[in-house]
């Protein structure tokens, strides 16, 4: 009679703890999206990438400006110390200029470099989002496992009481009672480990949010498993269009084409324009005694006489750089397709596994434990069978949580590989 009552108490406690877990999951708190928004504003890596992007933007217009002019003043033919009694004062202004068209190409390269910096910023935001979401789901998993461990302790305590009563009545051996104590102690250690894991998860999230390691965080522990709707081919095509690394490599390839054009334009001469003003202090030095001032101008340009050693090598190097950029683009596209394919398959398998545990295996495992508990109280099965049923019941729940976490982590990794959300 006592053993039957204890069995009923265990079953009631099982239902009460399950209800408590559901209530805990329904508590309001910060969602993954809210944590991501906070991290994007506060994370130093994101802020640094944003500053580098702005820096690159402000390097575009400089390419349109020519070199600073050079102003020169000459105090010539001084009969004293070089500073007085000069025969001639000369003022010159020289302006170096590139061959027309070079500055435009250089500015285009700077624009694409700024665009690459913008994509680097987007990739940083994407990676921080993935880290925050992964950390959030890991904390969700460890918190759920901790609650399952707490529920396991409650049931193990009841199982311990059942075995104690049975041992007192000489219906089972002392081994059953000792085994129950061992299982209880082991689960207590597991609960302590999970508490440390949850604390470390919080520290990781606080680090991403640029907060103190032990700052409190209230999180929403509602477990949602949105299914991946798009087909694999559509996701690969989407990755080709929006993944930051692919777009960056494409811009780098374009810059390599421009660099090749600029290398060929080295054969075209750059030039220098100059203006000269002379003021003769000794009339006999002047072109005419009545004209002591004169004006002049000059033009100079470089002659690529060493083209075989400089310009031709620059063109050859630029050709190889362009080939490397083209192959880099092909490589990153291939890697992206392979990565998206593998992550898609793994995520789909994790989703199917979690669904199977939730819909079939968990209910069966719970029912098996309840039947085994009643059978043990009536002496139809031994303690090992009862302990196995209990462990199978909680193993099913733990496996469900782990599969759900793997699916959510796989979904995050898939979005990271694509470069954006799974849906437009």
User: What pLDDT score was predicted for residue 261?
Assistant: 92
User: What pLDDT score was predicted for residue 10?
Assistant: 40
Q: Parallel, antiparallel, or unpaired for β 293-301 and 271-280?
A: antiparallel
User: What pLDDT score was predicted for residue 352?
Assistant: 95
User: What pLDDT score was predicted for residue 2?
Assistant: 37
- Token pair, residue 36, equals 């991501």
User: What pLDDT score was predicted for residue 172?
Assistant: 66
Helical residues (DSSP H) of 26-101, grouped into ranges: 32-42, 44-57
Residues 307-363 pLDDT 10s: 777 888 999 999 999 999 999 999 999 999 999 999 999 999 999 999 999 999 999
Greatest CA span in the chain, whole angstroms?
Answer: 139
Give the C-alpha separation, 322 to 319, whole Å. Answer: 5
Give the C-alpha separation, 297 to 129, whole Å. Answer: 62
Give the C-alpha separation, 424 to 417, whole Å. Answer: 15
Which one, of 347, 325, 346, 328, lies nearest residue 336 by Cα?
A: 328
* Cα angle 12-18-24, degrees, rounded to a multiple of 5: 135
Residues of the chain with pLDDT under 70: 1-27, 171-173, 424
Whether 188 and 39 have beta carbons less than 8 Å apart is answered as no
At the top level of CATH, the class of 2-65+98-269+304-418 is mainly alpha
Which distant-in-sequence residues (6+ apart) come within 8 Å of 110 by Cβ?
A: 56, 59, 60, 62, 63
User: What pLDDT score was predicted for residue 171?
Assistant: 67
State how far Cα 168 lies from the chain centre.
Answer: 60
Q: How much is the pTM?
A: 0.81
Beta strands in 88-227 (DSSP E): 88-97
- Token pair, residue 328, equals 């880099």
């Amino acid at each position: 009679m006592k053993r039957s009552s204890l069995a009923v108490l265990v079953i009631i406690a099982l239902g009460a703890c399950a209800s408590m877990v559901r209530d805990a999951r329904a508590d309001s708190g910060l969602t993954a999206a809210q944590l991501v928004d906070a991290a994007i504003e506060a994370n130093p890596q994101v802020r640094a990438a944003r500053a580098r992007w702005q820096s690159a933007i402000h390097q575009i217009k400089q390419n349109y400006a020519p070199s600073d002019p050079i102003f020169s003043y000459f105090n010539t033919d001084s009969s004293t110390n070089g500073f007085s009694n000069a025969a001639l004062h000369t003022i010159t202004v020289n302006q170096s200029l590139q061959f027309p068209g070079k500055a435009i190409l250089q500015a285009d390269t700077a624009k694409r470099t700024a665009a690459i910096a913008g994509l680097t910023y987007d990739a940083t935001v994407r990676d921080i989002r993935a880290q925050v979401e992964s950390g959030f789901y890991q904390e969700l998993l460890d918190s759920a496992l901790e609650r399952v461990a707490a529920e396991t302790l409650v049931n193990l305590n009841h199982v311990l009481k059942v075995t104690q009563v049975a041992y007192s009545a000489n219906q089972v051996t002392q081994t059953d009672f000792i085994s129950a104590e061992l299982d209880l102690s082991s689960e207590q250690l597991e609960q302590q480990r999970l508490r440390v894991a949850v604390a470390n998860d919080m520290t990781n999230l606080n680090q991403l949010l640029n907060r103190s390691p032990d700052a409190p965080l209230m999180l929403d522990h509602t477990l949602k498993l949105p299914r991946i709707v798009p087909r694999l081919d559509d996701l690969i095509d989407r990755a080709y269009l929006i993944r930051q690394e692919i777009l960056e490599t494409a811009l780098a390839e374009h810059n390599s084409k421009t660099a090749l054009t600029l290398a060929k334009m080295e054969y075209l001469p750059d030039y220098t324009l100059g203006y000269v003003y002379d003021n003769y202090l000794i009339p006999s030095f002047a072109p005419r005694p009545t004209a002591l001032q004169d004006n002049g101008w000059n033009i100079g340009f470089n002659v690529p006489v060493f083209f075989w050693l400089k310009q031709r090598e620059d063109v050859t190097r630029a050709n190889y750089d362009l080939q490397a950029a083209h192959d880099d683009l092909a490589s990153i596209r291939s890697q992206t397709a392979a990565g998206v394919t593998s992550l898609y398959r793994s995520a789909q398998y994790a989703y199917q596994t979690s669904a199977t545990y939730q819909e079939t295996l968990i209910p069966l495992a719970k029912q098996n434990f309840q039947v085994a508990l009643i059978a043990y109280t009536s002496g139809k099965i031994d303690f090992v069978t009862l302990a196995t049923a209990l462990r199978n019941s909680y193993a099913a729940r733990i496996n469900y949580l782990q599969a759900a976490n793997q699916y959510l982590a796989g979904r995050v990794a898939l979005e990271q590989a694509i470069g954006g959300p799974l849906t437009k």
